[in-house]
Amino acid sequence: MPLLQINHLTHFFGGLRAVHDFNLNLEKGELIGLIGPNGAGKTTIFNLITGAYRPSQGDVRLNGDNLVGLRPHQITGKGIGRTFQTIRLWNNLSVLDNIRIAQFAQIKYGVMDSILRTRRYQDEEKEIKKRSLELLEVFNLRHLADEIVTNLPYGQQREVEIVRALATKPQLLLLDEPAAGMNPGEIDALLKLIQWIRQEFDLTIWIIEHQMRVIMGICERIKVIDFGETIAEGTPDEIQSNPRVLKAYLGEEGI
Amino acid sequence: MAQLLRRIKELLGHIPLLAYLLGFLAATSVEIAAGRMFGLLIGLGGAPAFFGVTASFSRLNLDSGLVGFLLSIPSLLHYVVLALVYDVVIYGLPTLIVAGVLAKPIRWLVSALPEWLTGLIHTVTLFLSLWIWGSLVGYRLLVVMYIGVNIIMTTSLNLINGYMGEFSCGHAGFMAVGAYVSSLLTVWLFTQDDVFGAPALSAGWSIILFPLILIVGGIAAAIIGLLVAFPSFKTRGDYLAIVTISVNFIIKSAIENIEFIGGPRGFMGMKGVLKTMASVINIPWLLIWTFIGVLITLAVIYNFVSSTKGKGVVAIREDEIAAELMSVNTRHTKVLAFTISSFFAGVAGGLFGHVVGYINPSTFTIFKSTESLVMVYLGGMGSLTGSVLSASILTVAMEALRPLEVWKKVLIWLMLILLMMFRREGIMGGKEITDFISLERLGLRRSAKEVKGYAPAAD
């Protein structure tokens, strides 16, 4: 069974059709890309999958379970982690707290346990803290654990956001324009990081990007959408030479 | 001169908190023994209630125009000097001398005792000094209990407005529910009352049931708090503020229209409850429960917001959508926050009803809610020690400035305006006092060095 199945996903904002009949089967361990010009509906698809919007039609299945109608935190709890196009960390909290809170779904103690500081609470909190620090360690961010997020440079904030998404224990990681605002050197480092994460955490990764060259290097399969419609699908080479993609990106005349 | 100041600062900074507390305890004993005499001797006419602040302001002549006001200023200054002499001799010197002498032994004691015992000793000493200081003038005790009630109100509101970043303006509504529910219960159970008749239970029960009834009042308020939690799923910010104001008004009007509990005339008889309790064992029950109430509120809210589950509240403040998408169950978290917050407002209400001995619906209007709001913002959003500080300062200020009559309010709100202009983050600015002075330095925790048996070289 595919890890993620999306069938006939369609979404309207009022009268505007943002996504139309989007289909995808994502196998475990794949690394795929979704590209398209600005406003093509890429982020909307992520928002539909993660429950931020409820699809007008169609369904989304993770390991066969239908996700439509679940609240976002439930979907995240089932194993879909994501980052955001513009960084959405909890700015006035420490790096460590950002990572800790992302493990909310794994908390089993009740509110009374936290108020009374029971054994169970202490054990779980210790585990959460240990895991958070280990994650930060892996990304060489451990020395920043107590730093307030706002004080970090942009690149590190991006990294922290990825670590936070990993802290939710995802099977599928959705990266929404991870290279936005990065220079070519940073992009190279990021691509290496993504490939490494995939191996290290045994993840399936889905990247949104509108700069084609970013994902050409690492994705095995790429889907291209424009105005909510899928216009092409295939390997990077096929995509690069596909006339419809060129048209979408470069315009009718092919300047 | 500067060096001298630094030296003094260093000396004072090295005295642990407990030494100061014991010093103050000693000072209150000095006051009991000699305060009245000394006050008469220097011309204060007895021991001043609030370090002489209230009495100083009452020298001002506010009734005969600007000239009369200006002419009364020398009299104020004269009194201030006398009051300062009193404060230094009766409070300052004994506190410092005792604290200085005890500093070393107490440092040693803290390093020898387990931390929970150190904490307990601090708590008991603080309670004793408040009690003894308060007992000398009855009015002081009342103000101490007001401070307690306001601390509970402020810290519980801080959970919503500070930690969660919502804007709740109806906290007094929950306070009203708690006040009415627990007052009705205690009066029904323990006193001879016009409405309820003879006491339903024997006096002995009052000792055991009083704290439980406060909790029942809190639970009643928490249930009403849920009414606000549900709209908060759909709306936030200004709109939720309007919802909370409406809830405040609904509660007030509801109480006004229940004739059998007094309607707009209010409800009384709680003094009788205290008498019943005192007739069984004569100790200051209400002060004890207010004190314990404050401690429990602080402990519960601190423990909650520092747990990962409770930090979900802060994540909602920082970015609610990201919180929900990063696995925080925001609805559940909001319900928890509103329930805990309104529960404690209810407990504060129950205490308030018994402190004042009379409650009426117009006590619990939006003005009362605003008072708590001001204390939250004055202390700093998301800072518990800030809330404690601001609740204490503002409560004392409102009592001490009473002689200024109408001008009192002008002064206090002016202070708030200045605060918002120059230090919008409040006194503590989202930090706790322990971020500035370590627990080790305060002598509340053993320092790492001492634990390892390392003695720092004397210099």
Report chain B's terminal Cα–Cα distance, integer Å: 22
Domain boundaries, chain B: 7-128, 138-435
Choice between B237 and A97, residue whose per-residue pLDDT is larger: A97
Is the Cβ pair A165, B326 closer than 8 Å?
yes
User: Which residues have a Cβ under 8 Å from the Cβ of A198 and sit 6 or more positions away?
Assistant: A29, A31, A205
* CB atoms closer than 10 angstroms to residue B287: 20
Considering the domain boundaries, does residue A10 fall inside one? yes
C-alpha to C-alpha distance for B269 and B251, rounded to whole angstroms: 21
Choice between B57 and A170, residue whose per-residue pLDDT is larger: A170
Q: Can you tell me the mean pLDDT for A126-151?
A: 94
Is the Cβ pair A101, B326 closer than 8 Å?
yes
Is the Cβ pair B329, A121 closer than 8 Å?
no
Pick from B300, B309, B324: CB nearest A107: B309
DSSP reduced 3-state for B445: coil
Is the Cβ pair A111, B309 closer than 8 Å?
yes
The torsion angles phi and psi of B391, rounded to 5 degrees, stand at -65, -40
Chain A residues closer than 8 Å to B307 by CB? 114, 121, 125
DSSP reduced 3-state for B267: strand
Q: Shortest Cα distance from A147 to chain B (angstroms)?
A: 14
Pick from B299, B325, B328: CB nearest A50: B325
User: Which residues have a Cβ under 8 Å from the Cβ of B9 and sit 6 or more positions away?
Assistant: none
Chain B residues closer than 8 Å to A114 by CB? 303-304, 307, 309-310
To test the contact with chain A by mutation, choose from B326, B329, B338, B425 the residue with the greatest count of A C-beta atoms within 10 A, namely B326
Tell me if B312 sits within 8 A of A101, measured CB to CB. yes
**B132 to each of A198, B344, B351, how far by Cα in Å?**
67, 27, 20
At B205, is the pLDDT very low, low, confident or very high (cuts 50, 70, 90)?
Answer: confident
| Percentage with pLDDT > 70 across chain B | 97
Given a cut of 80, whether residue B210 has pLDDT beyond it is: yes
Q: What per-residue confidence (pLDDT) applies to B456?
A: 41
Q: Could you read off the pLDDT of B85-136 as tens digits, one per residue?
A: 999 998 999 999 999 888 888 888 888 888 888 889 999 999 999 999 988 8
At B447, is the pLDDT very low, low, confident or very high (cuts 50, 70, 90)?
Answer: low
B323 class by beta-carbon count within 10 Å (0-12 exposed, 13-18 middle, 19+ buried)? buried
Q: Can you tell me the mean pLDDT for A195-221?
A: 87
* CB atoms closer than 10 angstroms to residue B193: 18
Number of domains in chain A: 2
Considering the domain boundaries, does residue A223 fall inside one? yes
Q: What per-residue confidence (pLDDT) applies to B455?
A: 41
Which of A142, A161, A180 is the last residue before a domain boundary?
A161
Q: Can you tell me the mean pLDDT for B423-437?
A: 79
Among A123, A201, A122, residue whose Cα is nearest residue A168: A201
Pick from B307, B312, B325: CB nearest A76: B325
Helix (H) or strand (E) holding B86: helix B65-86
- Token look-up 């002689």 returns B403
Chain B residues closer than 8 Å to A109 by CB? 309
Least confident of B2-16, B19-33, B357-371: B2-16
CATH number at residue A226: 3.40.50.300
C-alpha to C-alpha distance for B369 and B248, rounded to whole angstroms: 9
Q: Same structural domain for residues A106 and A214?
A: no
Chain A residues closer than 8 Å to B218 by CB? none
- Token look-up 């605003």 returns B370
Q: What per-residue confidence (pLDDT) applies to A120?
A: 94
Q: Could you read off the pLDDT of B153-195 as tens digits, one per residue?
A: 999 999 999 999 998 989 999 999 999 999 999 999 988 887 7
C-alpha to C-alpha distance for A109 and A54, rounded to whole angstroms: 30
Pick from A51, A73, A125: CB nearest B307: A125
Choice between A181 and A132, residue whose per-residue pLDDT is larger: A132
Instruction: Return the residue of A nearest to B301 by Cα.
Output: A115
Q: What per-residue confidence (pLDDT) applies to A4?
A: 94
Q: What per-residue confidence (pLDDT) applies to A170?
A: 94
Q: What per-residue confidence (pLDDT) applies to A44?
A: 93
Instruction: Return the residue of B nearest to A163 by Cα.
Output: B326
Range of the domain at A109: 93-161
**A47 to each of A18, A41, A80, A82, B321, how far by Cα in Å?**
12, 10, 12, 10, 11
8-state DSSP, B354: H
Is the Cβ pair A103, B327 closer than 8 Å?
yes
Pick from B308, B323, B325: CB nearest A82: B325
Q: Shortest Cα distance from B156 to chain A (angstroms)?
A: 14
Is the Cβ pair B327, A90 closer than 8 Å?
no
Q: Shortest Cα distance from A202 to chain B (angstroms)?
A: 20
Given a cut of 80, whether residue A146 has pLDDT beyond it is: yes
Pick from A71, A93, A107: CB nearest B318: A93
Tokens (6 digits) for B23:
């010093």
- Token look-up 């909307």 returns A44
Given a cut of 80, whether residue A16 has pLDDT beyond it is: yes
Q: What per-residue confidence (pLDDT) applies to A252?
A: 61
Strands A16-26 and A204-209: unpaired
Q: What per-residue confidence (pLDDT) applies to B450?
A: 46
The whole-model pTM stands at 0.91
Chain B residues closer than 8 Å to A131 by CB? none
Q: Same structural domain for residues A177 and A254?
A: yes
C-alpha to C-alpha distance for B88 and B86, rounded to whole angstroms: 6
Average pLDDT, chain B: 87
Considering the domain boundaries, does residue A84 fall inside one? no
Its sign, for the CA torsion A231, A236, A240, A243, is negative
Q: What per-residue confidence (pLDDT) applies to A112?
A: 92
Most confident of A70-84, B182-196, B445-459: A70-84
DSSP reduced 3-state for A1: coil
Most confident of A200-209, B239-248, B290-299, B414-423: B290-299
Tell me if B204 sits within 8 A of B374, measured CB to CB. no
Q: Could you read off the pLDDT of B273-306 as tens digits, one per residue?
A: 999 999 998 889 999 999 999 999 999 999 999 9
Considering the domain boundaries, does residue A86 fall inside one? no
Chain B residues closer than 8 Å to A104 by CB? 308-309, 312, 326-329
DSSP annotation string for B178-247: HHHHHHHHHHHHHS-BTTTBS-SS-HHHHHHHHHHHHHHHHHHHHHHHHHHHTHHHH--THHHHHHHHHH
* CB atoms closer than 10 angstroms to residue B203: 15
Is the Cβ pair B327, A168 closer than 8 Å?
yes
Given a cut of 50, whether residue B459 has pLDDT beyond it is: no
Instruction: Return the residue of B nearest to A128 by Cα.
Output: B308
- Chains A and B: how many Cβ contacts under 8 Å? 93
Is the Cβ pair A104, B309 closer than 8 Å?
yes
Pick from A77, A89, A93: CB nearest B314: A93
Q: What per-residue confidence (pLDDT) applies to B448?
A: 56
Q: Could you read off the pLDDT of B225-244 as tens digits, one per residue?
A: 988 888 888 887 888 899 99
Chain A residues at the B interface, defined by Cβ less than 8 Å, are 50-52, 71-73, 76-77, 82, 84, 88-93, 97, 100-105, 107, 109, 111, 114-117, 121, 125, 128, 164-165, 168
Chain B residues at the A interface, defined by Cβ less than 8 Å, are 299-300, 303-304, 307-312, 314-315, 318-319, 321-331, 336, 430
